[in-house]
């Protein structure tokens, strides 16, 4: 099962990706009105996140994290493991894998990177996020960094592909800003914003393969 998924995604991620059209289906009303032109943005911070696919029994999962509460725009959010590119990182793949190990203790030793999804720009934090897709044939042993991660939430691809997970809500952000946004309902938690946009692109790619989406 995981081998078939690897072969499929390895091919699909080399083609023209669905991109913003699909990502922005999960964007808030405010973000959808202000689609950025990256050519006009200066001094953004590069970052990377990792979608790590693994198989447990007959189901394929990837880990989400619930961030700790802190004074910042991403406090307490449901997200993919990842973070800012360090000066010592040779590229954004290394950034994603380093952050994966630092946040949830998964070493890059037994991972295989199979491709990238479309970048997402996050205006409040001025981050340009690069989603990296990887697989492991070993069952992960999650070791949480308590300063960054409250818990790991393994999400199955069958859950991701279930349209019933997509709902809509109103959120109040910093300085009283109110937005309306679609989100993925993950164990009763709101997964929205850039992470939701990234996962919607992955979902769209998976659903393009009818045999795979039906098997999930």
Q: Give the model confidence (pLDDT) of 10-67 as tens digits.
A: 999 998 999 999 999 999 987 766 677 777 888 899 999 999 999 999 999 999 999 9
Q: Rounded to whole angstroms, how far apart are CA atoms 178 and 29?
A: 10
Burial class (CB in 10 A: 0-12, 13-18, 19+), 52: buried
pTM for this model (two decimals): 0.92
The pLDDT score that the predictor gives to residue 211 is 60
Per-residue model confidence (pLDDT) at position 75: 63
Choose among 13, 209, 18, 204: nearest CA to 120: 18
pLDDT of residue 215: 54
Tokens 């069952």 correspond to what residue?
139
User: Distances in Å between the alpha carbon of 14 and those of 18, 138, 167, 198?
Assistant: 12, 25, 31, 16
The number of beta carbons lying within 10 Å of the beta carbon of residue 170 is 10
Top pLDDT among 47 and 215 is at 47
Residue 44 gets which letter from DSSP?
P
- Identify the sign of the CA torsion 114, 120, 125, 127: positive
Q: Is the pLDDT of residue 70 over 90?
A: no
Q: Are 208 and 202 in contact (CB under 8 A)?
A: no
For residue 136, the cross-strand partners are 111
- Using one digit for the tens of pLDDT, what is the confidence trace for 139-196? 999 999 999 999 999 999 999 999 999 999 998 876 677 889 999 999 999 999 999 9
Number of other CB atoms surrounding residue 185 within 10 Å: 15
Q: How far apart are CA 65 and CA 143, in angstroms?
A: 12
Topology (CATH) of 2-215 = Nucleoside Triphosphate Pyrophosphohydrolase (3.90.79)
Q: Are 131 and 203 spatial neighbours (Cβ–Cβ below 8 Å)? A: no
Query: Any idea where the domains of the chain sit in the sequence?
Result: 2-215
pLDDT higher than 60, residue 73? no
Tell which residue, 203, 182, 157, 183, has the closest CA to residue 78: 183
pLDDT for 178 equals 86
180 pairs with which residues across the strands? Answer: 170
């Amino acid at each position: 099962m995981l081998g078939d998924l690897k072969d499929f995604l390895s091919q699909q991620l080399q083609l023209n990706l669905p991109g913003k059209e699909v990502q922005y289906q999960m964007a808030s009303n405010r973000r959808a009105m202000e689609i950025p032109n990256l050519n006009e943005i200066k001094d953004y911070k590069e970052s990377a996140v990792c979608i790590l696919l693994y198989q447990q029994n007959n189901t394929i999962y990837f880990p989400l994290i619930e961030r700790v509460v802190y004074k910042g725009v991403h406090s307490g959010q449901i997200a993919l493991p990842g973070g800012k590119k360090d000066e010592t990182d040779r590229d954004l793949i290394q950034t994603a894998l380093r952050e994966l190990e630092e946040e949830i203790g998964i070493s890059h030793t037994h991972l295989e990177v199979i491709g990238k999804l479309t970048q997402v720009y996050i205006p409040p934090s001025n981050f340009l996020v690069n989603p990296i897709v990887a697989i492991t044939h070993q069952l992960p042993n999650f070791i949480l960094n308590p300063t960054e991660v409250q818990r790991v939430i393994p999400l199955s691809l069958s859950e991701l592909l279930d349209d019933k997970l997509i709902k809509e809500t109103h959120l109040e952000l910093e300085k009283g800003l109110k937005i309306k946004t679609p989100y993925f309902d993950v164990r009763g938690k709101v997964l929205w914003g850039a992470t939701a946009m990234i996962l919607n692109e992955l979902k769209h790619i998976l659903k393009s393969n009818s045999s795979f989406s039906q098997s999930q």
